[in-house]
Structure 1
Amino acid sequence: MNLEQIAGIAHAPADHGQGGPIGTVVLTHGAGGSRESPLLVRICDEWAARGWLAVRYNLPYRRRRPKGPPSNSAASDQAGIVEVIELARTLAEGPVVAGGHSYGGRMTSMVVADEAAKVDVLTLFSYPLHPPGKPERARTEHLPRISAPTVFTHGTADPFGSIEELRAAAALISAATEVVEITGARHDLGSKSLNVPALAVDAASGLLGAS
């Protein structure tokens, strides 16, 4: 398995007596972040513990420079996500789950909405519904075109969108959706009382089972 082309790091699946991974999960980071995000590491660990091959990877803009936010890179970042999802199909049999944190999740959702790549479940962490304090600048135009089951894991204190706003946005998606509320968490989804990765993986697994 050569993940260098996508700047990916694999979390090997635990042996569940399946003879191979149940499926593949590919997750990417938010604006200003990288594949080393502690949240991504913990989520990939959770998937791997349940028998999945989990990969966290850098978006193209991050491969080009080690620090700073994306700048006019949406098209190339989305092309990079398509490449990752296509690669994921070759890494193991079974379903493919894709998504990411904030900007990375938004870019992945746009790829899925455009049907540029197919996933079995979309998993979005702290989806940035709008810039903080600017609810009129909603980033929801593409959501009605998403046909994949989608999980939104979101903090109740996230300045990029309230839970009420997020539920309204999720309702725009024609496929099954689930909103995982992380009480008191902000955009980084930090919580001292809730196991965020376990809750998110539970929700995604439930949508996989339903589909």
Structure 2
Amino acid sequence: MSVVDDLTWHLDKADNAIASIIFAHGAGAGFDSEFMQIVTNGLVAKGINVYRFNFPYMQQRALDGKRRPPNRMPALEQSFAERLAKYNDDLPLFVAGKSMGSRVAALVSNDEKVHGVIALGYPFHPPKKLEKTRLEPLLQTTKPVLILQGDRDALGNKQDIDGYQLPKTIELQFFADGDHDLKPRVRSGHSHQQHLAQAISSMVQFLEQHS
């Protein structure tokens, strides 16, 4: 069966919105995952329009229920770029993503419509493969970037990231004991709910600063 990408998106519209985000999912779950929904709801409550969509492989899964690996990066980039081209609102536009989606967001961010990039759990390297860094999308963007990262993220923890020479245009915020989903362990004294609420607040501050 051929790969499906119908270029639709799901819009969660805020009252009196101040900005818009196109928000891309990670490799393992689609736009309607619990993580994506929680962040979306939090942003909408704070006046941000959120556009979500499935990349082609995930849209195909939604149709036939079969798990499949992500499309190659050029196809993911094209899928995101085509949705950028569809955006015709006057509100300032930002691109964001969870994990893999943030990597794609950074790749398309030099589009003239885009004001900035937000990454929730940026995949700096594959698990246990620290030498295979994925820094290029962050280094090639000319737009301001906010990265919200768990400090024990298996795809880029605080120690790993401290060793990179990232541009000053990249703002990093670490979440205590957070994993790739920003989720801390119970014994840490922190909660996932608290971390997600702080992440949403930080996203809104970034949007207000760069709109």
Same fold (TM over 0.5): yes
Matched, 1:85 2:84: yes
In structure 2, C-alpha distance between the alignment counterparts of 1:168 and 1:198, rounded to whole Å: 28
Residue matched to 1:76: 75
Matches of 1:167 and 1:117, distance apart in 2: 30
**Alignment match, 1:190:** 183
CA contact (8 A) 1:153 1:200 kept: yes
Q: CA deviation at 1:193?
A: 5.2
Alpha-carbon distance between aligned partners in 1 of 2:176 and 2:168, rounded to the nearest angstrom: 26
**What letter matches 1:85 in structure 2?**
L
| Whole-angstrom distance in 1 between the partners of 2:163 and 2:92 | 28
Q: Distance in 2 between matches of 1:188 and 1:204?
A: 15
Which residue of 1 is the match for residue 33 of structure 2?
37
Q: Structure 2 matches for 1:61-210, cutoff 5 A? A: 61-66=57-62, 67-71=67-71, 73-88=72-87, 90=88, 92-112=89-109, 115-116=110-111, 118-169=113-164, 171-175=165-169, 177-191=170-184, 192=191, 194-210=193-209
**2:50 aligned residue:** 54
CA–CA distance in structure 1, aligned partners of residues 193 and 32 of structure 2: 21
Instruction: Measure the CA separation in 2 of the matches of 1:174 and 1:83.
Output: 29
Aligned structure 1 segments of 4 or more residues deviating by more than 4 angstroms: none
The separation in 2 between residues aligned to 1:5 and 1:95, in whole angstroms, is 25
CA distance in 1, matches of 2:209, 2:20: 18
1:155–1:189: 8 Å Cα contact kept in structure 2? yes
1:173: Cα distance to partner? 3.1
Q: Secondary structure at the match of 2:114?
A: coil
TM-score, scaled relative to structure 1: 0.82
CA spacing shift, 1:165–1:174, aligned 2, 3 Å: same
Q: Which residue in the other structure is 2:188 paired with?
A: none
TM superposition shift of 1:84: 1.8
Q: CA deviation at 1:157?
A: 1.7
1:9-47, Cα deviation, whole Å (9 max, x unpaired) = 22220x3xxxx4212111111112101121111111111
CA distance in 2, matches of 1:182, 1:103: 19
Deviations 1:169-207 (A, max 9, x none): 4x52352x3222121221122242553343233333333
Q: Secondary structure at the match of 1:133?
A: coil
Q: Give the Cα separation in 1 of the matches to 2:154 and 2:106.
A: 20
Q: Identity percentage over the alignment?
A: 24
What RMSD in Å do the two structures reach over aligned CA positions? 2.3
Superposition deviation, residue 153 in structure 1: 0.9
Give me the whole-angstrom Cα distance separating, in 1, the residues matched to 2:118 and 2:199: 8
Who is 2:12 aligned against?
11
Question: Which sections of structure 2, spanning at least 5 residues, go unmatched?
Answer: 185-190
Residues 194 and 163 of structure 1: CA distance in aligned 2, closer, same or farther (over 3 Å): farther
Aligned residues: 196
Q: Which residue of 2 aligns with 1:28?
A: 24
> Residues 22 and 152 from structure 1, CA distance in 2 versus in 1: closer, same or farther, beyond 3 angstroms?
same
Is the 1:7–1:57 contact (alpha carbons within 8 Å) kept by the matching residues of 2? Answer: yes
Q: 1:143 Cα shift?
A: 2.2
Q: Which residues of structure 1 form unaligned runs of 5+?
A: none
* TM-score, scaled relative to structure 2: 0.82
